[in-house]
């Protein structure tokens, strides 16, 4: 098999492993990110990550933790195939000679290029996923919003309007957006913060992955590393991704679940400012715990599955 075909196949397997391991953490992250600011004097829907887990299982059963997985599962082949294939082709361009090991800096450049490419797949996929993951939190917030005093926060209006839309699944979300939210353009709502997440995030992730492997191996030749080392390097790389771009992901999620007819946010910077005004810097890190808890095992599984699959082809 050629290098492109190997990256396509190995990226698909790696993405599937990442999704299965990490999706429940991601569901809790989105629920915490997207819950509306409560009216004055009222507690938030979720007190924290564990409370969100308990409420989700109580209301929806364990399957609720996997809500919204259909959209990324349907596109995981394309997403990870593009990510690892573009990265692989950029590695080939950056090598001084065939087979030469890349420096950490070259891996950063390759990761950034891969981030540009995957942004256009990640944005519509995550919009659908976030709508499905967040709708139960928004629906529960609607009664409190309706009961809030006149002149209350704009978030209550958004929560009420958003809760009016009920989705039966990924295709239902896509149909609703295409029909009622500006057609294809509506599926790319949040593209700017998606790119602001994927480009620097993947640059750092692949750079840290390579740096960690070289540190463990004691040099640039990392071909002899075992599976445990690959899991560790992948986990550290995933933590670096989320640790560096998390506030951007919060802005993206807020924009993607915002109501189309009565939007609270006019764009990325407006969302950033309003989150800071309403919740302070803490609001930009809502759901950070589940995201970091997910990043280590999910990315460890992804990189291990990718490396093992590629070595077998």
> Confidence band (pLDDT; 50, 70, 90) for 139?
low
The whole-angstrom separation of Cα 208 and Cα 259 is 37
pLDDT at 37: 77
3-state secondary structure of 92: helix
Instruction: Read off the pLDDT of residues 167-203 as tens digits, 9 standing for 90 and up.
Output: 888 889 999 999 999 999 999 999 999 999 999 999 9
Residue the block writes with tokens 């976030």: 130
pLDDT band at 155; cut points 50, 70, 90: very low
Q: 110-121: b or e for each residue (b if 16 or more CB lie within 10 Å)? A: bbbbbbebbbeb
Q: Which span out of 129-138, 153-162, 235-244 was modeled with the highest average pLDDT?
A: 235-244
Q: What's 37's DSSP letter?
A: P
Model confidence at 138: pLDDT above 90: no
96: Cβ contacts below 8 Å, ≥ 6 apart: none
Number of alpha carbons in the 13 Å side-chain half-sphere of residue 28:
25
With b for 16 or more beta-carbon neighbours within 10 A and e for fewer, the 264-285 pattern comes to: bbeebeebbebbeeeeeeebbb
Helical packing angle, 49-60 and 288-312, nearest 10°: 80
């Amino acid at each position: 098999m050629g290098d492109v075909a190997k990256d396509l196949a190995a990226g698909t397997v790696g993405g599937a492993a990442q999704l299965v391991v990490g999706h429940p953490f991601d569901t809790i992250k989105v629920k915490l990110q997207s819950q509306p600011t409560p009216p004055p004097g009222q507690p938030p829907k979720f007190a924290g990550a564990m409370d969100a887990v308990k409420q989700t299982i109580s209301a929806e059963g364990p399957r609720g933790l996997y809500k919204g997985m259909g959209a990324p599962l349907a596109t995981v082949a394309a997403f990870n195939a593009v990510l690892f294939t573009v990265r692989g082709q950029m590695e080939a361009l950056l090598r001084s000679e065939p087979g030469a090991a890349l420096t950490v800096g070259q891996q950063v450049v390759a990761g950034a290029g891969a981030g540009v490419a995957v942004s256009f797949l990640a944005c519509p996929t995550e919009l659908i996923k976030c709508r499905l993951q967040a709708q139960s939190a928004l629906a529960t917030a609607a009664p409190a919003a309706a009961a809030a005093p006149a002149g209350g926060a704009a978030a209550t209006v958004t929560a009420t309007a958003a809760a009016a839309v009920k989705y039966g699944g990924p295709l239902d979300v896509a149909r609703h957006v295409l029909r009622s939210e500006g057609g294809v353009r509506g599926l790319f709502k949040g593209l700017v913060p998606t790119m602001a997440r994927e480009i620097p995030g993947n640059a750092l992730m692949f750079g840290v992955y390579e740096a960690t492997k070289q540190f463990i191996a004691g040099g640039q030749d990392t071909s002899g590393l075992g599976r445990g080392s690959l899991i560790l390097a992948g986990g550290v790389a995933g933590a670096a991704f989320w640790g560096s771009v998390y506030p951007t992901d919060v802005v993206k999620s807020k924009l993607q679940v915002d109501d189309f007819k009565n939007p609270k946010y006019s764009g990325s910077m407006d969302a950033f400012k309003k989150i800071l005004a309403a919740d302070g810097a803490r609001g930009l890190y809502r759901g950070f715990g589940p995201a970091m808890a997910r990043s280590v095992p999910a990315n460890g599984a992804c990189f291990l599955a990718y490396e093992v699959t590629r070595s077998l082809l």
